[in-house]
Amino acid sequence: MIEIQLLDGRVKETLDGQPITLPPDDAWLVVALTLAGKSRLHARTVMSALGVSSGTLRKRMERFQNRTSLTLASEGVKADKAWRLDRDDIDVDAVRFLNLADEVRRAGDQSGDQAAAAALALWTSGLPQFTGLPNPAPEMYDRLEAAHDYLVDRGRRILIVDDQVGDNLAQRLGRSRCEVAHSFDEFEKYLPALDSFDLAVVDLHLTSTYADATGDTIVRRINAEGADVPVVMITLRPPENRSVPEWIKSLGLVDVIFKKGDGPGADMAYVAQRVDELLREGPTALACDQLTHLVQRLRRKARQRLRATRSEADYLRAVEQMDREADRIGRLAAESRLGPARTETELFIKNYGE
């Protein structure tokens, strides 16, 4: 039995449990052949990609078969030759991944959860990349990456807090599993389950007059709870008396997205697109970065206050303690431990001021 792994960022082949060492050119051929499906790998493609002449091609492919124990069927001669992989007794993780993704699509909604989990467990570091060589199977790479995006998106849980366009946005984010709270009171019902969400999308204004800043209150509550869920703020209007970058840092937001309209008929396409982009960028790491920036800014200001109010000895002791606390937050943020980093940041703010 031959097992071929392609979804760990490199090509791994084992024969009856024993690993086979593959040089880069052979690894490229393994991918090209295993992902060719019912198609054939043509000699001209191999010669162009690997710099092999027509005179040495036959021996090159024979060495490949001997080294990998893969069986190839061929047709044609010389530059018109083509090879197809005999798939008997071969297991390829990328092929299983696509089969599971197709099973999930057929099952729909939540009934495909087991197959989706099995597929995502196969995808560890993604598809192998070959420095100095062309993509061995461009169409299949695209198909695999699209299937991966689909499976990741459908498994995500998003909490939307918006009084007017929440349901519309949830429809736009249809592959994700969205829950919608239309008010602060409805949001509070989700407090015990915040850590079960991958992202919270919170509207700044939860009244039709736009006179409130309830979104800020919600984010501060999430921070105070030490929840792990990262937060994106959405708003029709920018906040007054503060810049957007400063607003993002002060609350530890992932980002702020501006709506193009409000009300039931508002187009949420841009907001949904940006939410999808942020999810792929890694919202937890982005939120942790903002907390780190906030703590560094607070530390600089606190140093100035401590210098002005303490003796030199007291100042040095206070700064040493503050630096230890700030460094601890930095380590938590670097490890993407958003909840503990939030808890420590709230304490840091209490001790050293905002």
Place 119 in a pLDDT band, splitting at 50, 70 and 90: very high
Partners of 201 in beta bridges: 160, 232
CATH for 157-281 (3.30.479.30, 3.40.50.2300, 3.30.300.30, 3.10.420.10): 3.40.50.2300
The secondary structure of the chain, three-state, reads CEEEECCECCCEEEECCEEECCCHHHHHHHHHHHCCCCCCEEHHHHHHHHCCCHHHHHHHHHHHHHHHCCCEEEECCHHHCEEEECCCCEEEHHHHHHHHHHHHHHHCHHHHHHHHHHHHHHCCCECCCCCCCCCCCHHHHHHHHHHHHHHHHHHCEEEEECCCCHHHHHHHCCCCEEEEECCHHHHHCCHHHHHHCCEEEEECCCCCCCCCCHHHHHHHHHHHHCCCCCEEEEECCCCCCCCHHHHHHHHCCCEEEECCCCCCCCCCHHHHHHHHHHHHHCHHHHHHHHHHHHHHHHHHHHHHHHHHHCCHHHHHHHHHHHHHHHHHHHHHHHCCCHHHHHHHHHHHHHHHCC
Mean pLDDT of 295-306: 92
Residue 9 has pLDDT above 70, yes or no: yes
Higher pLDDT pick, 164 / 175: 164
Mean pLDDT calculated for residue range 157-185: 92
Quick one: average pLDDT of 225-249? 90
Q: Using CA atoms, how far apart are residues 335 and 330, in angstroms rounded to an integer?
A: 9
Asked if residue 38 has pLDDT above 80, the reply is no
Does the structure show a pLDDT above 90 at 261? Answer: no
pLDDT of residue 141: 96
pLDDT beyond 70 at 105: yes
In angstroms, the Cα distances linking 21 to 32, 61, 195, 253 are: 17, 16, 43, 46
Q: Which fold has domain 2-91?
A: Arc Repressor Mutant, subunit A (1.10.10)
Q: Which amino acid is at 212?
A: D
Residue 354 binned pLDDT confidence (cut-offs 50, 70, 90) = low
Q: Is the pLDDT of residue 79 over 80?
A: no
Measured from the Cβ of residue 319, the count of other Cβ atoms closer than 10 Å reads 16
Q: Which of 315, 299, 312 is nearest to 354 (CA)?
A: 299
Predicted pLDDT at 109? 59
Which pLDDT does position 297 carry in this prediction? 92
User: Where along the chain do its domains lie?
Assistant: 2-91, 94-154, 157-281, 287-352
Segment 62-84 mean pLDDT: 89
Q: Do domains 2-91 and 157-281 have the same CATH topology?
A: no
Q: What is the pTM of this model?
A: 0.69
